[in-house]
Amino acid sequence: MNRMNGYDVEDLSVGMSAPLARTITEADIVPFVGASGDNNAVQINQEFAATTPFKSCIRHGMLTASVISAAIANKLSGPGTICARARSSRRQGVPGIPSGQTVSVREMLAKKRLVWLTRACTVTGTVVITGEALVKVGSRG
Amino acid sequence: MNRMNGYDVEDLSVGMSAPLARTITEADIVPFVGASGDNNAVQINQEFAATTPFKSCIRHGMLTASVISAAIANKLSGPGTICARARSSRRQGVPGIPSGQTVSVREMLAKKRLVWLTRACTVTGTVVITGEALVKVGSRG
């Protein structure tokens, strides 16, 4: 581990996985809307959202995806990780409350200190966002 | 336009484009970190960031991507848009200050009221994030 308690390349191997179980609440949405400017009616206007197939406000996909990035920053590969490339795909609106985020090591390019991570976010077991990230980690070598 | 001043499907055509020129400032980062929990050192710890190739704190890619979603929500196709699917790719860390976001209509599936949008974010002219989104819009028909 590095001095910030994040994983060095020597600590990682393919198949390692870390969950971050964090429910996204109303209290997260207000600052996210302020920071991003994304005040889409389907996410913040209950009256409009009731006219959509979702029947109620849905969570911002980007906020949900951002919490997965938090799982990388805080869990795997943890503090000190530098994200070189990232991709995420949202498969549908998020009508429930996202509560499960998982990050796993898919591939190691150890000499370059690069690691491919896969990530997913679930709502009551259904995967709503998938993605991958290429991250650079430290080394004790 | 719909009653929230967003585009209906009848108002849209391939090639339409909308810019959102918004600089992401320090004041956006604090609430974003609070909402997402993404407190990665390279983004919030100046001392650590100085040891990386970036030499200084970089912006959260997810915050940058979220501002592009704001461009969809506020500009094209505007209020009332429901995002059915979204994908974004970050090509590198964002060392400068993201200031340009552009959304364009790539393809229309008018009968289904579905529209493929492409989106991009630039830092002083260099594209750092690209993406696409499939959105559902309203109709006057």
Question: What pLDDT score does A101 carry?
Answer: 85
Give the SS3 label for residue A43: helix
Question: Which residues lie across from B82 on neighbouring strands?
Answer: B136
* Site from A5, A26, A82 to mutate, B interface, most B CB atoms within 10 angstroms: A82
Question: What pLDDT score does B93 carry?
Answer: 60
Backbone angles phi, psi at B105, to 5 degrees: -85, 120
Question: What pLDDT score does B111 carry?
Answer: 95
Question: What pLDDT score does A125 carry?
Answer: 81
Question: What pLDDT score does B101 carry?
Answer: 85
pLDDT in tens, B102-134: 999 999 999 999 999 998 888 888 888 888 999
Helices (H), chain B: 26-36, 41-44, 46-49, 61-74
Question: What pLDDT score does A126 carry?
Answer: 83
Is B106 near chain A, with CB under 8 Å? no
CB atoms B83 and A70 under 8 Å? no
Alpha-carbon distances of A77 from A40, A95, A135, B61, B64, rounded to whole Å: 33, 29, 8, 17, 22
The tens place of each residue's pLDDT in chain A, 141 residues long, gives 998 899 999 999 999 999 888 888 889 999 999 999 999 888 899 998 898 888 888 888 888 888 888 999 999 999 989 888 888 887 666 656 777 889 999 999 999 999 999 988 888 888 888 889 999 999 998
Stronger pLDDT, B33 or A62, i.e. the higher one: B33
Residues of A whose CB is below 8 A from B42: 80-83
Q: Is the pTM of this model over 0.95?
A: no
CA A17, distance to chain mean position in Å, is 13
Indicate if the pLDDT at residue B75 is higher than 70.
yes
CB atoms B35 and A88 under 8 Å? no
Cα B97 from Cα B123, distance rounded (Å): 6
> By the 8 A CB rule, do B74 and B20 touch?
yes
CB atoms B89 and A93 under 8 Å? no
Alpha-carbon distances of A122 from A64, A97, A106, B18, B84, rounded to whole Å: 10, 9, 19, 32, 17
Q: What ipTM was estimated for this complex?
A: 0.85
Question: What pLDDT score does B47 carry?
Answer: 92
CB atoms B37 and A74 under 8 Å? yes
Res. B95 pLDDT band, cuts 50 70 90? low
